Amino acid sequence: MSKQIGILGAGSWATSLSVLLAKKGYLVRMWSILPELASEINETRKNESFLPGVEVPSGVQVSVQIEQVLEDVEAVIFGVPSHAFREVMIKAKPYLPGGAMVVNVAKGIEEDSLCRLSQVFAQEAGPEMIKRYVVLSGPSHAEEVGREIPTTVVSSSSCMESAGYVQDLFMCEHFRVYTNPDMTGVELGGALKNIIALGTGIADGLGYGDNSKAALMTRGLAEISRLGMALGANPLTFAGLSGVGDLIVTCTSMHSRNRRAGIAIGQGKSVEQALTEVRMVVEGVRTTRAARQLARNLRVEMPITEQIHRVLFEGLSPAVAVKNLMTRGKTHEME
């Protein structure tokens, strides 16, 4: 009998992972909060709203009843936006089968609590459950994974046996999975790169070139590493898939919602107009506010994040933000 996997969420990333798992022979049940989306996928085998052009195998069934989705599954994949993770976790908790692995694929920091999502999970499920919690992260646009374009990601957990389970669950000829024990670093790399992608998008919208983008990515990685180390992460993680790897793909691709939103802002559109134009969740906006507060709490210098915060929430002109960064006081690169 095929193993059963539950996926909470039916957006682009959740759908692409459901396709991958179904093609590996798993029975996949996916939860959608939208009845019309559940009907669309079940009846047409398409998710044109979030993952157009990709056929969803018959091994994937979608329900609006979370208890049906989670019945007798051996793994639960949380594919909801980071700001909804706690709410969905609370809703799912009564139906989580004992012993089921929990895999989170969202990238963000909870805005009110400033918690990483593994911390949110521990608060809601209990600290003893953290060994069954795994983060899947890395440079992985859903649009490409759904089309079986070769992709490489990282599975991270405080329990390497759990990380290995998720590695085996997803790994196939077009989707390679490494393991990493530094869950703090993996979570932060995946979340914070979205801020820098907003920045590179803004630079593109202003008409700047490759030099500007390279500078933002490089100095952005320095900021990510500084905050990560202050929170106990291994600095080597930021040189890996969930660090520089995810940073590259998110800052350079038009698949990136954060970059596309940044381009619109750089072209003079308001934040609200930019988000409406992108149509899907732009994680970097909320993450910018959370990261800026974390940096201030820990006295970590994050000048790019600070300027992007001022653009997003204080009405600062993007061109002035660039000038502020370029005219800062002299520093050593290794500081």
Residue range 203-244, pLDDT digits in tens: 999 999 999 999 999 999 999 999 999 999 999 999 999 999
Q: How far apart are the first and last CA of the chain?
A: 56
Is 80:92 a contact under the CB 8 Å cutoff?
no
Q: Is the pLDDT of residue 290 over 90?
A: yes
CB count within 10 Å of CB 72 equals: 11
User: Can you tell me the mean pLDDT for 296-306?
Assistant: 97
| Percent of the chain residues topping a pLDDT of 90 | 96
- pLDDT band, very low/low/confident/very high, at 198 (cuts 50, 70, 90): very high
Burial classification of residue 273, based on how many CB atoms lie within 10 Å of its CB (0-12 exposed, 13-18 middle, 19 or more buried): middle
- DSSP letter, residue 257: H
The span from the CA of 60 to the CA of 64, in Å, is: 14
User: Can you tell me the mean pLDDT for 187-214?
Assistant: 97
User: Can you tell me the mean pLDDT for 254-275?
Assistant: 95
Four-point Cα dihedral 123, 128, 132, 134, nearest 10: 40
Angle between helices 183-205 and 210-230 in degrees, nearest 10 = 150
Q: Is the pLDDT of residue 296 over 70?
A: yes
- pLDDT band, very low/low/confident/very high, at 1 (cuts 50, 70, 90): very low
pLDDT of res. 281: 86
User: Can you tell me the mean pLDDT for 102-111?
Assistant: 97
pLDDT of res. 204: 97
Contacts of 161 (CB under 8 A, 6+ apart): none
pLDDT of res. 69: 98
How does the average pLDDT of the chain come out, rounded? 96
pLDDT of res. 66: 97
Residue 261: HSE in the Cβ half-sphere, 13 Å Cα cutoff? 28
The span from the CA of 108 to the CA of 194, in Å, is: 9
Ordered domains of the chain (ranges, CATH): 4-181 (3.40.50.720), 184-326 (1.10.1040.10)
Q: Is the pLDDT of residue 311 over 80?
A: yes
Q: Bridge partners of 137? A: 154
Can you read off the two tokens belonging to residue 191? 């979340």
User: Can you tell me the mean pLDDT for 288-297?
Assistant: 97
| Residue positions annotated with a catalytic role | 193
